[in-house]
Each structure stands twice: as structure tokens, then as C-alpha cells.
Structure 1
Amino acid sequence: MRGGEAEGEPALTRSEPRTTPRMLLAALVLSLFAAMVWAPAVYAEEGAPVEAVGGMDTAVLATLPHDLSPWGMFLGADIVVKAVLIGLAFASVLTWTIWLAKSFELSGARRRARGAMRALSSVATLPEALAAVGKGDGPTQALVRAADLEMRVSADVSATDKDGIKERVASRLERIEAAAGRRMSIGTGLLATIGATAPFVGLFGTVWGIMNSFIGISQSQTTNLAVVAPGIAEALLATAIGLVAAIPAVVIYNMFARAIAAYRAGIADVAAEVLRLVSRDLDRQATQSLRKAAE
């Protein structure tokens, strides 16, 4: 028997390492199960919202938003977030309005500048240019009229002072050209402002909404995703609308910057053609003066 007991003791000792981890695992599972079952009852006694076995408490469910569409999230958002969303929506509408109006304006102005350039290329004197461009109030007509005015004002100047006359004409043309460029750039600065500030305005709305969400989490004393997610989604909507307003504004601004640069180049070509006509007329007058002096 002693030999049998001696033989059995090592067997019992060898089985302990195999059963100890199982016992620890079973104790851990029982502990977790007890925590899941008893913790809601303890929280219920303290007055905190609880989750029933079949789901959340009906009082918590009643407060959750049911419409998580963009319009539903807007209606359920805080007043500050609503103000941010309304401002960003207005900025987006303003961006597309400027795009539509400025596109028609730029297209017509560039077409008129090309037509004026063709008309000026087909004449030989400044009076003919006045008749060719007509009596409109565009920059082309202003350029030709300014050159003609300076030529008439300087009629009593000696023919040898051609450089002074051309310098004064060029100064007038330069001012008209700059004024046309500034007038065509009206509205594009607003696009740059919207493109630069809209993301930060949307971020402000997001930060404000997330702050309110965290306050709501603290008051409800629950971190259930169904309770937390709607408020965070409403907050992130502000950032999304900010990007929707900013991205088109930046793209449209860059497009208009290139188009306005091309328009200014067209006006500069018209001014250069007018200055060539002035120079040609001055040379013609000088030649006539020399012929009269020779006679």
C-alpha cells in the first residue's frame, strides 16, 4: 500500500499544473458574470441610468434622436451649431452666386476686348479708332477716348516733344487699365475669405457640439454609443458643411484669378495698340511739319 501510495503521489502532483489554469479561468468568468449581473442593480440603487438585459432604459431611449439625416441633425443641434451651419450655408450660396454672375461678366468682357482688338488692328489713325470702337462706356472706349483727349490737349506742344506726349498718354492708359482690372476683381476677395475661414468656422461648430456632447455624457452618466454618437454626429456636420463651403470657394477663386489675369492681358494689348496708333499719328504729324517746313 505504501508503495501504491508512493506511486500515486507523483501522479497527483503532476495533475496540479493542469487544473490550476482552468480553475483561474473559471473564476475569472464567474467574476465577470457577477459584475455584469450585479453592477446594474447597484447603479440603479444610486439613481444612475441603467441598461436592462434586453437593452437600454426606456427613459434613455426616449431622449435619443430618431432622425439622423442632415436635416434632422440640424434641427436637433445646439443653437450655436445651428447658427454656424446657417452661416456656412449662406456662404456656400454666396459662393455659387458670385461664380454665376462673375462668369457671365468675365465672358462678356473678354469677348468685347477681343472684338476691340480686332477693330483697332484694322485702323490706321486714332480718329478712325474712335469711330471703330463706338460710344460705349467699356474700358476699350475709355482707352481710346483718353488717348484722343491727351492728343487734343497737347496739340499746341511742339512736334519734337513726341516722347512727352506718348508718356502722358501711356500714363492715362495705365490708370484706365488698372481701374478695369480692379473693377473685374470685385467679389473675388469674398471668395478668398470664404475659402480661408469656412473650415475654421465649421471646426468651431464641431468643437462646440462635442463640448455639449461631453456635458450630456456627464449628466446622463452613460457612455453608451447610442447616446453619445448622435451629438458627435451633429457636431461633425458643421465641419462637413464648412468643407462644402470652402472647397468650391477656393477652386472658383483660383479659376477667376486666372481668368482675370487673362482679361488684364487683353486690356493691356488694347492699350498697347492704342499707344501704337498715337505714336503713328505723332510721326505722321512730324512728317507733315517737315514737309511744310521744306516747302
Structure 2
Amino acid sequence: MDSVAVELAQPAQELTIFYLFMRADIIVKAVMGILLFMSVWSWAVAIEKFLQFRKAASQAARFEDDFWAGGSIDDLANRYARNPKDPFSRVLAAALRDWDSFSVSRSGGAEANRELTRMEQGLGILAIVGSSAPFIGLFGTVWGIMNSFRSIAASRDTNLAVVAPGIAEALFATGLGLVAAIPAVIFFNALSSQLAKYAVRLEGFVDDLSALAAREG
């Protein structure tokens, strides 16, 4: 049997990331730019929050060691409450304004809620990126595929070498959306878990202060 030589059409340009971006139209480029910005933004927020939570956990451990060391509340107040620099110190300063069980629970609890709200800032950005980036990328994909079909209809050429770049460009937008969304979701869940554990420690400290004030009262 005679062999049949099949010539495979080679693309005129290697489908690199830079090439896919440069050949995209303005809408798809805008989508890719937005997704790239969202990805960098989510990484910056995540790194900042991880460092913040790590520092807060270290300060909390040091404070708790001093609190349970058996010293007087006055010594603890002189060391931490006069110039509070961390959430535990600020809760202590708020609780000491009126040293009785009810006031400590109310003032300390309110300050703890303010501190946790302050620490929570930034997590909403990760939630927004994680939930919206895939849909933004999908929009870029749909728009790119529509452009590819229009180009195919205009050129009347369905050669794979002609079709592939447009399809790859369109799918690249979805890929960028997932690249932005997946780390953001992971960061959000990890940071939320750390914040929840810190909240338990801080709220437990308020309860301890309230019990101490009740005993001394």
C-alpha cells in the first residue's frame, strides 16, 4: 500500500502568553489586565494579612504568658494598658476604665469586637476576587470565541493553524480568571480560620477579665 504523506499545518507564530495577549482585541486585553491586577492585589492583601495575623498571634502569646504569670492587674496595666499597641492591650485598657464584672464584660467585649472588625478588613477583597474572577475570565473567553467565529466566517478558512490562536486566546482569559480566583479562595479560607481562632482567644480573655473583676469586686 502506498504511504500517504500528511502535511501538518504549523502555526505561523508560537502561542506564547505574550503573543496571545498582543493579538487579543481591546476587550479581551482589558479583561486580562483586570484579572492580572486582581491576582496581584489578592496576593498583596494575603501577604499583608498573614504577616499581621502572625504578629498578632505572637503578641497575644506574650501577653497571655504575662497575664497568667501571677502578677497583679496593676502591673499588667502599667506594662500594657498605658500605651496599648496590640488588641489584647487595648481590650485590657478598655476593661480597666470601670473595674466591675458588668462594665468589664461590656467595655472589653465592645473593644474586642472593634479589634476583630479591624483585623477582618481586607478579607472582603479576597472574597470578591475569589467569587468574581472566574466570571470575568469567562466573559473574556466568550467574547474571544465570538471574535474567532467572526474571523472564521470572514476568511472562510477553518484550518487549525488559523483557528487555534483565537481559541487559545479566548481560553487564556478563563485560565487567568482561575489563576486569580483559586489562590484568593485558599487565602480567604486560611485567613478566616486564623481570625476565628484569634477571636476565640480574645473573647476568652474578656471572659477571664470579667471573672477576675467579679472576684475582686
TM-score normalised to structure 2 length: 0.90
User: Which structure would you say has the larger Rg?
Assistant: 1
Amino acid at match of 1:231: G
Which consecutive residues of structure 1, in runs of 5 or more, have no partner in the other structure?
1-53, 152-164, 283-295
Post-superposition offset of 1:67: 3.4
Cross-structure match for 1:15: none
The 3-state SS of whatever aligns with 1:136 is coil
Mean alpha-carbon deviation: is it higher for 125-134 or for 260-269? Answer: 125-134
Post-superposition offset of 1:91: 0.7
Which consecutive residues of structure 2, in runs of 5 or more, have no partner in the other structure?
1-6
Q: Within 1, Cα distance between the matches of 2:87 and 2:70? A: 18
1:90 to 4, 12, 37: 37
Cross-structure match for 1:77: 24
Is the Cα–Cα contact under 8 Å of residues 126 and 274 in structure 1 kept in the other structure? Answer: no
Is the Cα–Cα contact under 8 Å of residues 120 and 274 in structure 1 kept in the other structure? Answer: no
Mean alpha-carbon deviation: is it higher for 192-201 or for 112-121? Answer: 112-121
1:267 to 197, 202, 205: 202
2:84 to 132, 136, 158: 136
The 3-state SS of whatever aligns with 1:198 is helix
Cross-structure match for 2:152: 217
Q: Within 1, Cα distance between the matches of 2:80 and 2:208? A: 13
Q: Percent identity?
A: 36
Whether 1:203 aligns to 2:151 is no
Is the Cα–Cα contact under 8 Å of residues 116 and 270 in structure 1 kept in the other structure? Answer: no
Post-superposition offset of 1:145: 1.7
RMSD value, Cα: 1.9
Whether 1:99 aligns to 2:46 is yes
Cross-structure match for 2:4: none
Q: Within 2, Cα distance between the matches of 1:172 and 1:65? A: 70
Structure 1 residues 252, 103: CA separation in 2 closer, same or farther (over 3 Å shift)? same
Cross-structure match for 1:161: none
Is the Cα–Cα contact under 8 Å of residues 195 and 249 in structure 1 kept in the other structure? Answer: yes
Is the Cα–Cα contact under 8 Å of residues 126 and 144 in structure 1 kept in the other structure? Answer: no
Whether 1:109 aligns to 2:71 is no
Post-superposition offset of 1:280: 2.6
TM-score normalised to structure 1 length: 0.67
Is the Cα–Cα contact under 8 Å of residues 135 and 177 in structure 2 kept in the other structure? Answer: yes
Whether 1:148 aligns to 2:83 is no
Q: Within 2, Cα distance between the matches of 1:118 and 1:240? A: 48
Match runs of 1:210-289 below 5 Å? 210-282=145-217
Mean alpha-carbon deviation: is it higher for 223-232 or for 141-150? Answer: 141-150
Structure 1 residues 81, 188: CA separation in 2 closer, same or farther (over 3 Å shift)? same
Q: Within 1, Cα distance between the matches of 2:116 and 2:12? A: 52
Q: Within 1, Cα distance between the matches of 2:161 and 2:88? A: 66
Runs of 4 or more, structure 1, over 6 Å off, are none
Q: Within 2, Cα distance between the matches of 1:136 and 1:142? A: 5
Q: Within 2, Cα distance between the matches of 1:124 and 1:196? A: 49
